[in-house]
C-alpha cells in the first residue's frame, strides 16, 4: 500500500489552508487503498531557502532541511493544497518544494486549489515546478472558490460535488504513485 502526503500550501496566520487540508484528509481516511498523512509545512519552520548548494547537487546541511527531507522521502505520492496568491502558489509552498530535489523524483502529485479564481493559476504554476522536480502530476484537480466554498472567506464549507472530484484525484494519485514505485526501484 502506498503512502500519500497531504501537504498544506500556506503558513499564513489565520489561514484557511489547514481547513481545506483537513477536509482532504477526512475524505482520504474513508479509503483503504493507500495510507494518507497530513504534512503541515508550517510545522517545519523552513526559512527562505538557506542551503548553500542546490538540492540536486548535495545532501541538505541544516537540521530543518534534513527533517523536511526525511519526512518527504517516506511518501510515494502527494496531494498539494494550494492557495492562490497574486496569480500563483504561495511563497511558502514554493520554498518548501525548492528545498528538495531527489525526494520528489518519480512520484505522483495531485492538486487541490482555492482562491478567487478557484486557484487555477496557482495550480498551473505548480505543474511547471513539478515538471522540473520530476513529479508526475495527475490531470484531475479540485478547484474551490472563495466565493462559493467559503463562508465570509474564512470558514470552509465545500459544495458536496467536490467529493466526487476529490475521489477521482485520489484514484489517479494512487494509481500513478503505485506505478512509479517500479521506476524508483530501477535506480
For the chain, what are the domain ranges?
Answer: 2-185
In whole angstroms, what is the distance from residue 121 CA to residue 99 CA? 22
- Cα-based distances in Å from 69 to 43, 92, 141, 148: 14, 16, 26, 36
Which of the 8 DSSP states describes residue 41? G
Residue 123 pLDDT: 98
Q: What percent of the chain has pLDDT over 90?
A: 98
Q: pLDDT digits over 87-123, tens only? A: 999 999 999 999 999 999 999 999 999 999 999 999 9
Query: Over 70: is that where the pLDDT of 187 sits?
Result: no
Residue 140 pLDDT: 98
CATH for 2-185 is: 3.40.50.360
Give CA torsion, residues 25, 27, 33, 34, to 10 deg: -10
Q: How many CA atoms lie within 13 A of 113 on its CB side?
A: 26
Count CB atoms within 10 A of the CB of residue 127.
14
pLDDT band at 50 (very low <50, low <70, confident <90, very high): very high
- Mean pLDDT for 172-179 is 98
Residue 80 pLDDT: 99
Contact 139, 162 (CB under 8 A): no
Mean pLDDT of the chain: 97
Residue 186 pLDDT: 78
Query: Over 80: is that where the pLDDT of 150 sits?
Result: yes
Contact 112, 80 (CB under 8 A): yes
Q: Which residues sit opposite 108 in a β-bridge?
A: 77, 136
Q: Is the pTM value of this prediction over 0.95?
A: yes
Q: Backbone phi, then psi, for 171, in 5-degree steps?
A: -55, -45
Amino acid at each position: 500500500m502506498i503512502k500519500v502526503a497531504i501537504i498544506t500550501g500556506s503558513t499564513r496566520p489565520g489561514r484557511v489552508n489547514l481547513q481545506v487540508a483537513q477536509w482532504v484528509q477526512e475524505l482520504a481516511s474513508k479509503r483503504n487503498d493507500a495510507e494518507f498523512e497530513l504534512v503541515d509545512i508550517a510545522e517545519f519552520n523552513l526559512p527562505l531557502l538557506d542551503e548553500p548548494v542546490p538540492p540536486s547537487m548535495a545532501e541538505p546541511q541544516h537540521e530543518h532541511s534534513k527533517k523536511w527531507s526525511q519526512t518527504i522521502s517516506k511518501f510515494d505520492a502527494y496531494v498539494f493544497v494550494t492557495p492562490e496568491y497574486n496569480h500563483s502558489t504561495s511563497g511558502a509552498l514554493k520554498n518548501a518544494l525548492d528545498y528538495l530535489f531527489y525526494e520528489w523524483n518519480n512520484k505522483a502529485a495531485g492538486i487541490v486549489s482555492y482562491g478567487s479564481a478557484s486557484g487555477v493559476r496557482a495550480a498551473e504554476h505548480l505543474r511547471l515546478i513539478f515538471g522540473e522536480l520530476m513529479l508526475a502530476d495527475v490531470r484531475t484537480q479540485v478547484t474551490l472558490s472563495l466565493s462559493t466554498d467559503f463562508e465570509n472567506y474564512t470558514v470552509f464549507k465545500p459544495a458536496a460535488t467536490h467529493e466526487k472530484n476529490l475521489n477521482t484525484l485520489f484514484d489517479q494519485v494512487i494509481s500513478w504513485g503505485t506505478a512509479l514505485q517500479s521506476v524508483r526501484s530501477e535506480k
